[in-house]
């Protein structure tokens, strides 16, 4: 098979250099086509933020949320065998909307259970990657289009984040930012901010995310623009002098301009964070997820000084590929997720933005119902969480699958067919964020294939 070679033209390079990140910076300017897209959205005087917590590896949500009714639990336990959570340990839930059976949470999710009971969090059931509605018969007879390379980590991560089967892919958060790029007062700082480096969700278009770590703005190697040490001051001055020179080569000039903007933007973000009052909310020490969400909370606290009215944050956490030792690994993952979510929600309450910040989970895929003896393998459908005061909390959205091997929901080996698409899930979040109906169809290309193009996840 001949491999297609992709070449980047000088025009494309200059456009991307002028608009993209380098190091931990991001700059964008308005083009005419983006101005037209923005005109459809209008100006917003309020603040809203989406926070994506991506569980890399494929979360085994059937160990996170599981049947509690005795009959359904028995079927679940027979299927899960050594991985079944003891019924006596499951935290039972009482959803506000009726369900065909009772369900409960992993014993390490006590805080999330409380958030659910307090109507601050809801679950989206059996959501996954789909191009069009798919049944077991459709799948077996190959009557429908399917996402590329089902059960492959990289391919499914990219599809969840881009919702595009073709390449090159652009993340749906990147497409949203292009639609709304003129809403923020600050046109230097990207609407998309990543605490976990490069990710498909926020990349691929003209606007790249601003990246920083849980500890703050990353310094250039040997370039410390915020240091008062004379050696650092002189080094930075020399570097800026080099960058400020006129460069005859277009690529060199674009690089120098982006480097300069990166340094300036780093100063701006660092200064804004330095002026934020320390949070009273406690976050678990030693937890990467908690540390990243604490930085997200600090960035939200700095929103006014940064001139931001719309922001999308990305936080990725790994180790969810539980092929082995799942009985020991998974409780630790749930414990970290539980405490981090509760702390972050409490921080949004402290900041007075709990109705303006919506946190949601995503993952590569679900995992198999069956045990491989020590863990689970790559599956398809899964459950996700949405949290915040704007959420219509204490509910299950979507359809619970039948957790039985050989059921109509199973395509084999306990891989469950999703009944809610990621497009529907993401479009519901985007609608709350402020996208119009016409923009939703542009951002989510497969949305038109589904009768219900959004879920009633939010109040009002």
Residues 399-440: pLDDT tens digits?
999 999 999 999 998 999 999 999 999 999 999 999 999 999
Alpha carbon distance 331, 112 (integer Å): 14
**What is the DSSP code (8-state) at residue 46?**
S
Kindly state the tokens that stand for 183: 């809403």
DSSP string of 103-165? EEE-TT-HHHHHHHHTTSEEEEEEEE--SS---HHHHHTT-S---TTTT-HHHHHHHHHH--S
CATH architecture of 45-222+290-449: 3-Layer(aba) Sandwich (3.40)
Alpha carbon distance 181, 202 (integer Å): 13
- Mean pLDDT in residue range 377-388: 98
Is a pLDDT exceeding 70 seen at residue 197? yes
Kindly state the tokens that stand for 194: 């990543």
Q: Look at the alpha carbons of 105, 361, 397, 326 in this order and tell me if their dihedral is positive or negative.
A: negative
- Mean pLDDT in residue range 119-141: 98
Q: What percent of the chain has pLDDT over 70?
A: 90
Do 457 and 391 meet the contact criterion of CB atoms below 8 Å apart?
yes
Asked if the peptide bond before residue 366 counts as cis, ω within 30 degrees of 0, the response is: no
Is a pLDDT exceeding 90 seen at residue 260? no
Specify the pLDDT at position 34.
Answer: 41
For the entire predicted model, the pTM comes to 0.89
Specify the pLDDT at position 383.
Answer: 98
More confident residue, 2 or 373: 373
Classify strands 65-67 and 103-105 as parallel, antiparallel or unpaired: antiparallel
Specify the pLDDT at position 36.
Answer: 38
Specify the pLDDT at position 221.
Answer: 61
pLDDT per residue over 146-155, tens digit each? Answer: 999 999 999 9
Kindly state the tokens that stand for 88: 């006596």
Is a pLDDT exceeding 50 seen at residue 264? yes
pLDDT bin (cut points 50, 70, 90) of residue 70 is: very high
Alpha carbon distance 446, 348 (integer Å): 33
Specify the pLDDT at position 33.
Answer: 38
Is a pLDDT exceeding 60 seen at residue 442? yes
């Amino acid at each position: 098979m001949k491999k297609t070679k992709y070449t980047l033209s000088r025009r494309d390079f200059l456009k991307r250099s002028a608009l993209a990140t380098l190091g931990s910076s991001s700059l964008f300017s308005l083009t005419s086509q983006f101005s037209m897209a923005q005109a459809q959205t209008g100006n917003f005087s309020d603040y809203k933020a989406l926070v994506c917590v991506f569980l890399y590896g494929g979360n085994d949500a059937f160990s996170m949320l599981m049947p509690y009714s005795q009959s359904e639990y028995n079927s679940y336990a027979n299927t899960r065998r050594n991985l079944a959570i003891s019924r006596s340990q499951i935290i039972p839930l009482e959803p506000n909307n009726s369900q065909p059976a009772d369900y409960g949470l992993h014993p390490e999710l006590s805080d999330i259970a409380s958030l659910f009971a307090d109507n601050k969090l809801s679950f989206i059931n059996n959501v996954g990657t789909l191009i069009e509605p798919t049944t077991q018969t459709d799948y077996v007879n190959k009557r429908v289009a399917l996402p590329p390379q089902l059960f492959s980590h990289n391919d499914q991560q990219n599809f969840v984040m881009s919702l595009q089967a073709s390449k090159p892919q652009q993340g749906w958060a990147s497409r949203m930012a292009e639609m709304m790029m003129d809403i923020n007062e600050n046109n230097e700082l990207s609407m998309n901010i990543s605490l976990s480096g490069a990710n498909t969700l926020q990349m691929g278009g003209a606007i790249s995310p601003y990246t920083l770590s849980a500890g703050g703005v990353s310094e250039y190697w040997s370039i410390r623009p915020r240091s008062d040490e004379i050696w650092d001051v002189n080094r930075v001055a020399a570097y800026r002098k080099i960058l400020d020179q006129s460069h005859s080569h277009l690529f060199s000039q674009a690089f120098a301009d982006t480097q300069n903007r990166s340094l300036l933007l780093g100063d701006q973000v660092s200064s804004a964070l330095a002026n934020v009052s320390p949070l009273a909310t406690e976050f678990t020490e030693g937890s990467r997820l908690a540390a990243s969400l604490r930085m997200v909370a600090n960035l939200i606290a700095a929103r006014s000084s940064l001139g931001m009215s719309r922001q999308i944050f990305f936080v990725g956490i790994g180790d969810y590929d539980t092929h082995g030792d799942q009985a020991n690994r998974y409780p630790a993952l749930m414990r970290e997720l539980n405490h981090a979510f509760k702390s972050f929600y409490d921080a949004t309450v402290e900041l007075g933005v709990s109705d303006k910040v919506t946190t949601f989970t995503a993952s590569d895929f679900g995992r198999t119902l069956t045990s491989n003896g020590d863990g689970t393998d790559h599956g398809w459908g899964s459950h996700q969480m949405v949290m915040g005061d704007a959420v219509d909390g204490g509910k299950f959205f979507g359809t619970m699958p039948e957790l039985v091997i050989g059921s109509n929901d199973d395509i084999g080996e306990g891989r469950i067919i999703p009944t809610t698409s990621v497009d529907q899930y993401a479009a519901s979040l985007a609608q709350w964020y402020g996208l119009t109906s016409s923009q939703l169809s542009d951002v989510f290309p497969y949305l038109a294939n589904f009768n219900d193009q959004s879920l009633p996840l939010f109040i009002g």
